[in-house]
Amino acid sequence: MSPADPPIHFYIYLATILFVIGIFGCLARRNAIAILMSLELMFNACNIVLVAFCQRHGVTYTLQAFSRAQDIESPVGQIYAIFVIIIAAAEAAVGLALAIAAYRHYKSINMDNINLLKW
Amino acid sequence: MGTGAEQPDVWTYFKWLWLNGFGLAQPHWWFFILSFVIIASGIGTVIARNLLHAAMFLALCCIGIAGIFILLNAEFLAAVQVLVYVGGIVTLIIFAIMLSESITGKKAVTHNKQSITALGVSIMMGIVMIVILFYNQDGYFVGLERWALTADRNPFPNVSNAQMIGRSLMSTYTLIFWIASIILTIAMIGALILAKAEDETDIAELDKNSDSVEESSGLEVNE
């Protein structure tokens, strides 16, 4: 690779900062929807690390499914990232449905009020 | 893997930047711009008082991450990121916000009493992650050697990114592909059941119960 590409630890610093921001949001926000948005930030940080490691350290192998190319880089990190996005979409759907159900029950989605099962 | 001479540590990286200029055509420059956008909009997502503004910051953050994916030669994933996150999840979040709460002109307390503790915990978590990623078991800094960068190459000479991912999804990772479709179906059915409206009588009873619950919880908080 040319030195023009950023080194991989730059991507890891970026993903760490994003993940830490997401953790702070999950711990400090009161609104359930805001907590879900912080979760999306953390999913995105994981995706950045997966794709960066796949790009720089991908396994080189030959798939039988590829007829025209030899020694294809394994896209396994990108495929993991796609599955993470799928799970994030499912989680957002279920989580927002839960938030709306909780709002219908408690007339608010303040997480400090939803403490029926806390202790 | 590259040889020792090809490992650009941070110092040689910045020296290369200094010698070759900070042109906008270089990918590193876009990396720094996108990093700034991502981190700033991530902080905005976390600290914005208006939830609609937070959702907009989240959309901006996802667009920046799509740019990072393009820098990493994952064009298909960038398209998926924009479509699913900005087009799907952020839209869903905005619908949930509008269904659940009145937004305009509301000055509510958006953070709980744990903000200082949460800040400390998250910063300590970041330090732990950096230590795990860059130090070996004996406590030595090994990051740059462990992640020796690979040699110069054209990563995918004959196959496009989308074709590669599609063929892999249909050949090697078919089982996970099916499981993902089942998971999406289950999540859709579960979301429908969870968000389904109850009968009118049930809603009236829930209103009474929720009023009593809120009063009792308020008393507990005041004590």
pLDDT at B152 over 60: no
Q: How many CB pairs under 8 A join A and B?
A: 295
**CATH of region A8-61+71-106:** 1.10.287.3510
Q: Which CATH number fits domain B1-110+142-158: 2.60.120.260, 1.20.120.1200, 3.90.700.10, 1.10.10.10?
A: 1.20.120.1200
With a pLDDT cut of 90, the percent of chain B lying above it is 23
pLDDT at B119 over 80: yes
pLDDT one-digit tens code per residue, A27-54: 998 888 899 999 999 999 999 999 988 8
In the three-class reduction of DSSP (H, G, I as helix; E, B as strand; rest coil), residue B96 is classed as helix
Burial of A5 by CB count in 10 Å (0-12 exposed, 13-18 middle, 19+ buried)? buried
Domain boundaries, chain A: 8-61+71-106
| Interface predicted TM-score (ipTM) of this complex, two decimals | 0.86
| pLDDT score for B216 | 46
A103/B100 Cβ within 8 A: yes
pLDDT at B101 over 60: yes
Residues spanned by CATH 1.20.120.1200 within chain B?
1-110+142-158
In the three-class reduction of DSSP (H, G, I as helix; E, B as strand; rest coil), residue A70 is classed as coil
Average pLDDT over residues B40-64: 92
Best CA proximity match to B100, nearest among A37, A90, A102: A102
User: What is the pLDDT confidence band of residue A72, given thresholds at 50, 70 and 90?
Assistant: low
User: What is the pLDDT confidence band of residue A61, given thresholds at 50, 70 and 90?
Assistant: low
User: What is the pLDDT confidence band of residue B163, given thresholds at 50, 70 and 90?
Assistant: confident
| pLDDT score for A77 | 85
Distance from CA of B222 to the nearest CA of A (A): 13
User: What is the CA B51 to chain-centroid distance, rounded?
Assistant: 17
Which of B53, B159, B206, B222 to mutate to test binding with chain A, by most A CBs within 10 Å of its CB? B159
